[in-house]
């Protein structure tokens, strides 16, 4: 894998991270307003995005996931 592939991976990681962060904000609002089913669907999407981010980081930059993070785990500590 060349520099160009790594650059594309970096751009994709940034984009996925931005989308993930927006989904987390939406999910929190939904949870706050009692829309648990909709929040659960977003939680799955967030976890899938994080999985893709972790895979790209590991494949292109050799960075192992910091932990087996899930949104439910992150929210539990906030």
Spatial separation of the C-alpha atoms in residues 12 and 43, rounded to whole Å: 20
Q: Which tens digits make up the pLDDT trace of 7-57?
A: 999 999 999 999 999 999 999 999 999 999 999 999 999 999 999 999 999
What's the structural domain count of the chain?
A: 1
Quickly state the pLDDT bin for 64 (edges 50, 70, 90): confident
DSSP 16-31: HHHHHHHHHHHHHHHH
Query: Cα–Cα–Cα angle for 1, 50, 54, nearest 5°?
Result: 35
Spatial separation of the C-alpha atoms in residues 44 and 33, rounded to whole Å: 19
Range of the domain at 26: 3-76
3-state secondary structure of 15: helix
What is this structure's pTM?
0.79
Residue pair 56/13 in contact (Cβ under 8 Å)? The answer is yes
């Amino acid at each position: 894998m060349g520099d160009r592939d790594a650059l594309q991976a970096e751009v994709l990681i940034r984009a996925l991270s931005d989308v993930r962060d927006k989904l987390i904000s939406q999910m929190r609002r939904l949870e706050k307003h009692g829309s648990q089913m909709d929040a659960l669907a977003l939680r799955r999407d967030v976890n899938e995005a994080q999985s893709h981010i972790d895979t790209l980081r590991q494949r292109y930059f050799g960075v192992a996931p910091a932990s087996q993070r899930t949104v439910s785990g992150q929210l539990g500590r906030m």
